[in-house]
Amino acid sequence: MAENTSPIKDEEMYEALRDEGNSKQKSARIANAAARDSRSEVGERGGESGSYEDWTVQQLTQRAREIGLTGYSELKKGELIKALRNS
């Protein structure tokens, strides 16, 4: 039987978070914290982040720069949001 080598500890939560539009990194961080502690504890200490749709293009490009994305300067706002969420 093959051993699970996925770094994601709670795949169900990870997929639900991705479906909501969260980035891969954020989804993995939340899912792994939930698996380590408990879903209710993670929910209690977690905050609410604004939606990328509420950000300006300047804020989005700054975030892309911070996380090391490339090729973002020519993207439209919707494309930039998608790139950030898929990073």
- What's the pLDDT at 33? 77
pTM above the 0.75 mark? no
The ranges assigned to domains in the chain are 11-44, 52-86
- What's the pLDDT at 39? 56
> From CA 8, how far away is CA 28, in angstroms rounded?
6
Average pLDDT over residues 2-9: 66
Output Rg (C-alpha) for the chain, integer angstroms: 15
CA 15 to chain centre: 11
For 39, the 3-state DSSP assignment is: helix
Contact in structure between 69 and 84 (CB atoms under 8 Å) = yes
Question: Which amino acid is it at 61?
Answer: T
- What's the pLDDT at 55? 87
Tens digits of per-residue pLDDT, 19-70?
Answer: 888 888 888 888 877 777 665 555 555 555 568 888 899 999 998 888 888 8
- What's the pLDDT at 21? 87
